[in-house]
Amino acid sequence: MCWSAEADLVAGTVVSGLGVWCLARVRRARDVPLAALPLLLGVHQLIEAVVWSGADHPDTVRWARTAWAVVALPLLPALVSVGVWCSAGPPAFGSTAQRWRAALALTGVTIAVLLAVVVATSPVTAEVHGHVLRYGVGAPQSAGVLVAGYLLATVGAFLLGGDRVLRLLGVLVGVGAAVCYVLYRLAFVSTWCALSACATLVLLRWAGRPLP
């Protein structure tokens, strides 16, 4: 997610610390799943620091590559989509918007299960390419459907969030992910850690927002 082991280590430590703070600011139990996202992002970067450090000895960091894939693929779509649905809360149950959020949560869980099968049955590889790590996981024939479902469960869920801050985060994540992907494909530099930090700051504000 960053351009070196050192960058991942620093970014992961900072984001993890902010993630703990985000959880400490939560005032409602139903906000906990989404408030846990920054901590997960921080841990994800710390895991990648291990992957970087073992790039020349891939057999020694197999567990780190697998752990990285588990967070990036099954966990994130499930946590984001279910977290947004939970945060809307009982007052919104039965509304059209909440039905859409429930549909996206179901999509996220379904995609998570399918991706978990992919990770469990395929070796996870990682190689240094320019200033980025390029990961490889088994590519099923339904890869296009999985990518579409993944985006719906993450970006789409935020865009349908129950408040303005989450919708703003959806725009940020959507635009930021597109920019990060282009830079990643060019092997110029990986800026996913910057996007994670920005998303963490938005969620930190969201967790401490005044409640109605």
3-state secondary structure 92-115: HCCCHHHHHHHHHHHHHHHHHHHH
103 part of a folded domain? yes
The answer to the question of residue 151 being in a domain is yes
Q: What's the confidence (pLDDT) of residue 7?
A: 86
Report the alpha-carbon distance of residue 101 to residue 191 in Å, rounded: 29
Bridge partners, 127 (sequence order): 134
Residue 54's pLDDT is 78
State which residues form the domain around 151: 5-207
Residue 1 confidence (pLDDT) = 65
Query: Rounded to an integer, what distance in angstroms lies between the CA atom of residue 84 and that of residue 72?
Result: 18
Q: What is the pLDDT of residue 187?
A: 52
What pLDDT does residue 90 have? 67
Q: Which parts of the chain register pLDDT below 50? A: 188
Task: Report how many domains make up the chain.
Answer: 1
196: in domain:
yes
* pLDDT, position 140: 67
- Taking only the tens place, the pLDDT of each residue in 173-211 is 999 888 877 666 555 455 677 888 899 999 999 999 887
What is the H or E stretch that residue 128 is in? Answer: strand 125-129
The pTM (predicted TM-score) of the whole model is 0.90
40 falls within a domain? yes
